[in-house]
Amino acid sequence: MANFLKRIQDLPEERRKTILWSIVAVLALILFFWWYKNFKAKLDALKEQSSNPEVISMEWEAKSLSSINQ
């Protein structure tokens, strides 16, 4: 590992910046795809919940009961 770092340190500054920004870009893409996957899963769960009439009626009943109790 030390040898690897030494080789990078010996490279010209422009080349080191290129390596740095390449790593940043790859990490940004990985994080974007991870975020997109999670966002899509949450959106699908929300669609499934809102398309299920039993869930909607239970939520409605809970709201009705809470307003009656107040």
Portion of the chain with pLDDT greater than 70, in percent? 70
Cα separation values, 46 from 50, 55, 56, 62, 67, Å:
6, 11, 12, 19, 25
Residue located via tokens 């909607």: 56
Is residue 59 scored above 70 in pLDDT?
no
Is residue 2 scored above 60 in pLDDT?
yes
pTM here?
0.58
Domain ranges (residues) in the chain? 2-69
Is residue 56 scored above 60 in pLDDT?
no
Report the pLDDT value the prediction gives residue 66, as an integer from 0 to 100: 62
Mean pLDDT, to the nearest integer, of 17-41? 96
Report the pLDDT value the prediction gives residue 19, as an integer from 0 to 100: 96
